[in-house]
Amino acid sequence: MRAAKAVLGLVVILAAAAGGLWLTERLLAAPEPARTAQGTAAPLRVETIAPETVTFVDAVTAVGTARARQAVDLVPESSGRIVRIAFQPGDRVEAGAALIELDDRAEQADLKASDATLAEAQAAFDRQESLNRTGSASDAAYQTARAALLRAEAERDRALVALEDRVLRAPFAGVVGLTDLVEGQVIDTATPIATLDDLSVIEVDFSVSETLLPRLERGQRVELTSAAWPGRIFQGRISRIDSRVDAGTRSLALRAGIGNDDRALAGGMFLQARLVLDERRRPAVPENALTVEGDRVLVMLAEDGAARQAEIVTGQQQDGLVEVVSGLPPSARVIVTNLHRVTDGAPVEAVAQDRRVEAGAVPVPAPSEGGG
């Protein structure tokens, strides 16, 4: 039995050796690359592209909370019984529009009384002023009449203010919120009436790292998205930059303003903010055109019928393209096919590619700063 196993093993070893000899002979007998009449290797056909000029963006993302540009909780200036509610929740009202009217009969009476007192004081003052001009009255009597007139005017002004306070008016144009009040209800100065929000512009508060402070300035563009509006991007600008860094989070608070004419956004909404720090247009090449050797990034260029290796400095990646910071001539033709067969200095036959090659999985060193 052991002898049979030994013979079988020997047969397997001999068969493997014979197969290896046969494969070696086949490889040695393979035809050499085609050569031209002068004995040189035929040019390798490759496809090339010109670098695309692409806009690259340095941006940072954060989460923010929306708020109305102006927002207030409405409360009455005086106590009393409601005789008229002049709005419906959700109405847009103009500045100065009447919202709540209270019973003002007592204030109307006070105003009439103050008007009568003022008329009497005015008549008395006019008489004293006439007598004073002719020298028939003392200066003291004239001053007394004048003081009485001033007090009467003040009382009338006070009565007017009290009457005006019986009507609650919108302090600015905006949208009125919900209310639980009904006509006939008695309220006081602590009773909440409703909310009023100016939704023409929405402000979004968010924070970024303190390390970005040197790169922040008013007017920078902010792109905002909301789960309530999938696929929609709201464009805004930085309007406020806080003067202090939060000691606990080491972050800086920012505020962006967004036009909201269609009232798509409301105060309190959660938004994703993308702050654009820098935009630039740079040449870019497909990722699969790059070769990484250590900390070097290389591309193959077609120049005068030959391949030339060039080292470049890269930046961001975007949509399958890699930003070229330096090292690529403006008129370069970048080889994007047969890269595994192309060597530096080898003859090539360059053919322009009709469309951009999709990105490969070649790793590219990350840019030194910023985010895309």
The pLDDT, as a whole number, for residue 191 is 94
What are the C-alpha distances in Å from 30 to residues 26, 33, 34, 344? 6, 9, 12, 25
The pLDDT, as a whole number, for residue 61 is 93
Supply 172's token pair: 């600015």
Instruction: Say whether pLDDT at 5 is over 70.
Output: no
As a whole-number percent, the residues of the chain with pLDDT over 90 amount to 52
Write down the architecture of domain 44-58+281-352 according to CATH: Beta Barrel (2.40)
One DSSP character per residue, 188-243 reads: -TT---EEEEEEEEEEEEEEEEGGGGGG--TT-EEEEE-TTSTT--EEEEEEEEEE
Chain mean pLDDT for the chain:
85
Average pLDDT over residues 136-140: 77
Q: E strands along the chain, which residues?
A: 44-49, 52-74, 80-85, 92-93, 98-102, 167-169, 174-176, 186-187, 194-209, 221-225, 234-246, 251-259, 270-286, 290-293, 296-303, 306-318, 321-326, 334-335, 348-352
What angle separates helix 139-164 from helix 105-134, to the nearest 10 degrees? 160
The pLDDT, as a whole number, for residue 130 is 85
Question: Yes or no: is domain 60-69+200-266 CATH 2.40.30.170?
Answer: yes
Q: Give the model confidence (pLDDT) of 38-81 as tens digits.
A: 555 688 888 888 888 888 888 999 999 999 999 999 999 999 99
Is the entire prediction scored with pTM above 0.85?
A: no
Residue of higher predicted confidence among 201 and 12: 201
Q: How distant is the alpha carbon of residue 1 from its chain centre?
A: 82
The pLDDT, as a whole number, for residue 31 is 45
Every domain range in the chain assigned CATH 2.40.420.20: 44-58+281-352
| 3-class DSSP state of 5 | helix
Q: How confident is the model at residue 361 (pLDDT cuts 50, 70, 90)?
A: very low
The pLDDT, as a whole number, for residue 134 is 79
| 3-class DSSP state of 80 | strand
Every domain range in the chain assigned CATH 1.10.287.470: 106-164
Average pLDDT over residues 230-250: 94
Average pLDDT over residues 232-254: 94
* CATH number for region 106-164: 1.10.287.470
Residue 362, C-beta contacts closer than 8 angstroms, at least 6 positions apart: 287, 288, 290, 291, 292
